Amino acid sequence: MTRLSVNINKIATIRNARGGNIPDVLKAAIDCERFGAEGVTVHPRPDERHIRYQDVRDIAPVVKTEFNIEGYPSKSFIDLVLEVKPDQVTLVPDPPDVLTSNAGWDTITNQIFLKEVVGEFHKNGIRVSLFIETDEKMIRNAVHTGADRVELYTEAYASNFSKGKEKAIDPFVKAAKVANEAGLGLNAGHDLNLDNLKFFADNIPGLMEVSIGHALISDALYFGLENTIQLYLRQLQKA
């Protein structure tokens, strides 16, 4: 079964809006696991507008399933990852001012840079995934960076799902097959939700993990966090 990693950035966004420690991000991380999530994801950005670097340090010791840190590999980000040593780091090509991740890596242009970063993380026993689009060349070339996995950027699938789910998922099925053939593990994330997740998980071969934050935390406002995590886990169950 595909693993569910809950991105808790939005919980930190609410906390930061008022200052203080409500809601408690650390408690949220613990509760996500307690309610059935198989991983916790955070994405600290340079301006710390949601998850702060200190949050990452505080969360790392309490996560018992899998801790995944996303981010652009700046020096400060690399230093943080090497300090806390998560199970997985997901590298994204975000410029500092971007609202949310909106593109995948060009693994050809950035091959040398990524290979150096991946090598440094591997020395410290950290699995590396690259945020990537469905371009076959970019997926195949991810192998030459030394990455263990790729994470398919699923915004296009989510945006086109209501217009025709078979057409929307087709490039992702093809991309997944390329990743499988190349020996890369396969993750996915961005705009997956209760409407589109099951169809995606049922049709993507070799899907190991999905990272979901915005939709899941938004649904939790209506259904509660525990119930929401269970609802998402049910979407990932095979018939």
Residue 99 to residue 231: CA distance in whole angstroms: 27
Residue of 33, 38, 66, 70 marked active site? 70
**Is 43 a catalytic site residue?**
yes
Rounded Cα–Cα distance for residues 170 and 45 (Å): 32
* Active-site residue (options: 43, 66, 133, 151): 43
Q: How far is 205 from 160, CA to CA, in rounded Å?
A: 20
CA-to-CA distance for 223 and 217, rounded, in angstroms? 10
Instruction: Assess whether 181 carries a catalytic annotation.
Output: no
In three-state secondary structure terms, 207 is strand
CA dist., res. 229 & res. 232, Å (int) = 5
The SS3 assignment for 151 reads strand
- Choosing from 66, 133, 190, 209, the catalytic residue is 190
Structural contact between residues 118 and 128, judged by C-beta atoms closer than 8 angstroms: yes
What's 95's DSSP letter? -
Distance CA 67, CA 89 (A): 8
Instruction: Establish whether 209 is a catalytic residue.
Output: no
Angle between helix axes 9-18 and 25-34 (nearest 10 degrees) is 150
| Catalytic residue ranges | 43, 70, 190
